[in-house]
Amino acid sequence: MANSYSYDRGESEVVDKLVSINRVAKVVKGGRRFGFAALVVAGDTKGRVGYGQGKAREVPEAIRKATEAAKRNMIRVPLREGRTLHHDVSGRYGAGRVHLRAAPAGTGIIAGGRIRAVFETLGVQDVVTKSIGSSNPYNMVKATFAALEGVMSPRSVAARRGKKVSDIVGRRSQTSEEAKE
């Protein structure tokens, strides 16, 4: 159910995917009035991604509103080697929880449909995910974004702590040699 559209806006191309479309009804005196709610994920496949929700009486209008909201609400996620996350991270929204794990090259995107759309538009090629609890598409996407907001690059951690990147990352053999002494 994931459609993909591309837009050329300036120097970076924004790709968006329709994650969910839902028919909703409002009960009024004369019967029911039907509308549509859409959930769209948009990203530039280079580390920026956002999600948006849109509601309207017609499907295309709901998708358009959701796409515009997704482009407005983009966040930047630091990627290791441009293909995976820097570290494992968990996120939660409502009853939905997700665990995101960095993966070696060649692993691919191991994720369910809703979370997969987020990583495809983000530009991640190798990641392993696990979703627990709610399977509601809104909760899954929001939990994924909650987790992605917690991803930090070693450079930003080092700058915040006032240390060198090598002190933060460190080498396992070096730390084990220091422990022996």
Does residue 95 contact residue 80 with C-beta atoms inside 8 Å?
no
What pLDDT is stored for residue 3 in this prediction? 59
Given the DSSP bridges, would you call strands 75-76 and 89-93 parallel, antiparallel or unpaired?
unpaired
Determine what percent of the chain is predicted with pLDDT higher than 70.
87
For 101-119, the pLDDT digits (tens) are 999 989 999 998 899 999 9
Query: Given pLDDT bands bounded at 50, 70 and 90, which one contains residue 181?
Result: low
CA distances to 33, 48, 103, 121, 154 from 70, rounded to whole Å, are 26, 11, 27, 11, 28
Task: Tell me which residue of 121, 67, 120, 79 sits closest to 103, measured CA to CA.
Answer: 79
Residue 140 has pLDDT above 60, yes or no: yes
Q: Which residue has the tokens 């809703």?
A: 114
What pLDDT is stored for residue 169 in this prediction? 79
Mean pLDDT for all residues in the chain: 87
Query: How far is it, in rounded angstroms, from Cα 11 to Cα 82?
Result: 18
Task: Tell me which residue of 112, 127, 118, 115 sits closest to 80, measured CA to CA.
Answer: 127
What pLDDT is stored for residue 157 in this prediction? 86
Does residue 101 contact residue 134 with C-beta atoms inside 8 Å?
no
Give the chain's domains with CATH numbers.
4-75 (3.30.160.20), 78-167 (3.30.230.10)
Which range (50-54, 133-137, 162-166) has the least confidence? 162-166
Give the strand order in the sheet containing 12-28: 4-9, 12-28, 31-43, 48-56, 75-76
Query: How far is it, in rounded angstroms, from Cα 131 to Cα 110?
Result: 11
Residue 70 has pLDDT above 70, yes or no: yes
Query: How far is it, in rounded angstroms, from Cα 74 to Cα 10?
Result: 15
Average pLDDT score over residue span 140-150:
94
Residue 91 has pLDDT above 90, yes or no: yes
Average pLDDT score over residue span 69-73:
94
Which pTM was predicted? 0.83
Query: How far is it, in rounded angstroms, from Cα 140 to Cα 131?
Result: 8
Residue 133 has pLDDT above 50, yes or no: yes
